[in-house]
Copies of this chain bind each other. A is one copy, B any other.
């Protein structure tokens, strides 16, 4: 297959696979697609190790890295990571303590924010310029073919470094206006992400957003994200004018994915009605599995409401790490709370398969969908 991005990225089949799991990245790249490693949770040293491993697996085939670089940071987030904790109000800490008690998480051992201090560093890395910059430097020392910025326009320093290294920059957007801004600030590739996508997402659906973004940023190429987890959906995305697709959710239930088993089982059982666009996990609207965590934060009368990013992220990720451990240990209350980011396509995911097989099935079904269109139109 040949689209405008085939040469730009050296990719045979324009299926971009976003995953935090290096195995998924390597498997999709080796199947003819393009794996993109979500690097935000790593330290620079960890990221270097992951990329060395991927380099050995893909032997020159194309892959990329995604970092989370916020364009505008709340003042609190400009503080050193360890001081972020001080900005979390008592009432929000108390609400988490209340949830731990109500759902019996950790068998009655009360929740304290100190116990999530280890996550402060990680979250700090995710959401500060300096944290992201360290990751960019590491990534550019590897033969990556794409660097993506998931939040807001890529900062000038990142653009300059990527340009110097000859690596194209991708930016995720949820509105036409953001797409235009990202291109003005240096993005070489736009990922237009519909509201049905997992994670941070806007309000406009993929079907409506993609053609508008394609028209607004031409000739900059556009990938479609959100609602794409099979070959028919990929064909649809490309009929809308996209040059390829960017998928995340579909890899979460693969064999290789490091998704915790409780969450994986929830995903396999979920319908497309079982997600919600909620601020309960990061402070910004992000689509995720409905669970007691989202319902309590969003609907309970005693909820103080989510904090802004990155404070809610710090509080939530710290708490959810403990909740995840408890859920894996079989605690029923923790299982009710456990969730993770995922798009509405979760309703299609009902079998654990190797990533390689998922990629091949998408490629095959894409071809059938295009064939069917051709037959219908008699072309």
Contacts and interface: CB of A to CB of B under 8 A. Distances in A.
Interface stretch (A48-56, A143-151, A222-230, A299-307): A222-230
A259 to B, nearest CB: 20
Interface stretch (A59-67, A159-167, A183-191, A364-372): A364-372
Interface string A353-374: 0000000000000010111111
A215 B141 CA distance: 46
Interface residues of A, number: 49
A1 interface: yes
Contact of A344 (B204, B233, B236, B239): B204
Contacts of A97: none
Contacts of A232: 211, 239-241
A227 B239 contact: no
Contacts of A272: 175-176, 204, 208-209, 212
A59 to B, nearest CB: 26
A176 B343 CA distance: 17
A329 B224 CA distance: 44
A121 to B, nearest CB: 36
A207 B235 contact: no
Contact of A237 (B196, B236, B343): B236
Contact of A207 (B175, B203, B227, B377): B227
Contact of A196 (B204, B230, B372, B378): B204
A271 interface: yes
Interface string A113-131: 0000000000000000000
A241 B228 CA distance: 14
A207 B195 contact: no
Contacts of A196: 204-205, 207-208
A255 to B, nearest CB: 23
Nearest to A365: B211
Instruction: Name the residue in A227, A237, A379 with the highest tally of chain B Cβ atoms < 10 Å from its Cβ.
Output: A227
This chain: how many copies in the complex? 2
Interface in A259-282: 271-273
Contacts of A373: 235, 238-239, 370, 373
A356 B211 CA distance: 22
B371 A273 contact: no
Contacts of A212: 272, 347-348
Contacts of A204: 196, 272-273, 344, 347
A57 interface: no
Contact of A367 (B2, B226, B377): B377
Contacts of A238: 239, 373, 376
Given A203-B273, A236-B239, A239-B239, A208 B370 contact: no
A43 interface: no
A194 interface: yes
A205 B273 CA distance: 10
Interface of A: 1-3, 175-176, 194-196, 203-209, 211-212, 226-228, 230, 232-233, 235-241, 271-273, 343-345, 347-348, 367, 369-374, 376-379
Given A208-B343, A238-B239, A238-B376, 6 more contacts: A175-B272, A207-B228, A232-B239, A235-B239, A238-B373, A370-B374
Q: Which 3 A-B pairs have the closest CB atoms?
A: A207-B227, A236-B236, A235-B239
